[in-house]
Amino acid sequence: MSLRDSRHAGVYTVSVFTKAPGSNGQKNPWVKHYQIRESETEETSKFYLAEKYLFSTIPELIQYHRHNAAGMIMRLTHPFSQGRESSQSPTELSEDQWKVDPAELTLGEEVASGQFGLVLQGRWRERRVAVKMVREGAMSEEDFKEEARVMMMRSHCKLVQLYGVCTQHSPMCLVFELMEQGCLSDYLRARRGRMSQDTLRGMCLDISEGMAYLESNNFIHRDLTARNCLVSYNNVVKVSDFGMTRFVLDDQDTSSQGSKFPSKWSSPEVIKYCKFSSKSDVWSFGVFMWEVYTEGRLPYENRPNGEVVDALNAGLRLLKPRQAPEAVHLLMEWCWKVKPDDRPSFALLLHELASLSDL
């Protein structure tokens, strides 16, 4: 994507370079241009692109469309720099920093099988790691490689760290920090009836901290669930799989109509318009808290997705888990406000959760 002065004075054009299938179904690279328009109806001038999502400034508009296609062929992923200028931003890593040398990687036992393929335990440079062996055709590898450099720079004690990518063989494998106790939903179910209020609140605190970090970096998770949070050997809960849904190739899985689309964790604006934001992550976090306080129950257990969407539109919400203090239930309900702006930020949720003493 690049933003440039148009041939007409005072007019800006966003040019999107895409490999998305064209009308002939072929994946030929092509460029599509969108003019930034100004709204004429508003008293103060506002900007918009393909559809009428209005913004006071162009940087705000670009920021929004980095996460939402909203009428364009695709969302704005990577800025394109012209001329001989390096496209590597100072915050990105060089190739030898993000590529894992297979000679340094030892593979061990299988841990699980996930949406991208098998997950194995392993060792890399004296560290215990989890290695995701990407199944042929499961991932948009080129896009992921671009993003991996940025993802590796995201480092926080409440995020599962990506150490690097091994591209020597095809398909490639991804090397992550090992989380010895696996995913949080299984962990919760295995410990039902044995966890204190402090423990449950601690899990919500851990995840709100990781998410507040992502939010402050303008990064959207898109698939926050207890299944996508992992537990370390010393019971710290961390956010995993952030942003990964963007690289799943099977449309059946990820489209809002797809069988694996996480509708029961998705906000109304995501279900209706695929409009992702940190505030749609906040909605999912409300469902995550519900999972924690029900000790790993599935939300809306046996109800089909369509029925759940209708119930949400009618204003119904998940019921208060028996274990949840009233103050925590109020936070869940706050996350499930219809209007994204009415929901709290993760920074605020973190603050609120931290200030709840044992209730």
| 110-139 binders of ligand ADP (CB under 6 A) | 111-112, 114-116, 119, 130, 132
| Closest separation in Å from C-beta 334 to ligand ADP | 27
| Closest separation in Å from C-beta 110 to ligand ADP | 9
At 116 the three-state DSSP class reads coil
| Binding status of residue 241 toward ligand ADP by CB under 6 A | yes
Q: Specify the residue, 71 or 171, whose C-beta has the smaller distance to ligand ADP.
A: 171
How far apart CA 260 and CA 147 sit, in angstroms, is: 23
Q: Is 144 left (phi over 0), alpha (psi -120 to 50) or beta?
A: alpha
Beta-carbon neighbour count of residue 94 at 10 Å? 9
Q: Is 337 left (phi over 0), alpha (psi -120 to 50) or beta?
A: beta
| Cβ-contact 155, 111 below 8 angstroms | no
| Closest separation in Å from C-beta 252 to ligand ADP | 14
Q: Specify the residue, 129 or 289, whose C-beta has the smaller distance to ligand ADP.
A: 129
Cα→Cα distances 287→30, 134, 201, 320, 337, Å: 40, 29, 14, 11, 12
By CB under 6 A, how many residues form the interface with ligand ADP?
19
- Give the pairing of strands 12-18 and 2-5: antiparallel
In the complex, which residue's CB is closest to ligand ADP?
114
| Binding status of residue 256 toward ligand ADP by CB under 6 A | no
Contact range with ligand ADP by CB under 6 A, out of 61-69, 106-114, 267-275, 332-340: 106-114
How far apart CA 129 and CA 265 sit, in angstroms, is: 29
Q: Specify the residue, 132 or 149, whose C-beta has the smaller distance to ligand ADP.
A: 132
Contact range with ligand ADP by CB under 6 A, out of 3-11, 37-45, 174-182, 196-204: 174-182
Contact range with ligand ADP by CB under 6 A, out of 107-115, 133-141, 198-206, 326-334: 107-115
| Binding status of residue 222 toward ligand ADP by CB under 6 A | no
| Closest separation in Å from C-beta 203 to ligand ADP | 16
| Closest separation in Å from C-beta 153 to ligand ADP | 18
| Cβ-contact 258, 229 below 8 angstroms | no
Q: Specify the residue, 176 or 276, whose C-beta has the smaller distance to ligand ADP.
A: 176
Q: Where are the beta strands (DSSP E) in 88-242?
A: 105-114, 117-124, 127-133, 162-166, 173-177, 229-231, 237-239
Q: Tell me how many degrees the CA angle 256-261-266 measures, rounded to the nearest 5.
A: 80
Tokens standing for residue 178: 């090992």
**Which member of 14, 16, 100, 160 binds ligand ADP (CB under 6 A)?**
160
Q: Specify the residue, 269 or 295, whose C-beta has the smaller distance to ligand ADP.
A: 295
The residues that are catalytic are 223
| 201-220 binders of ligand ADP (CB under 6 A) | none
Q: Specify the residue, 47 or 176, whose C-beta has the smaller distance to ligand ADP.
A: 176
Cα→Cα distances 333→292, 316, 326, 327, Å: 15, 11, 11, 10
| Closest separation in Å from C-beta 32 to ligand ADP | 31
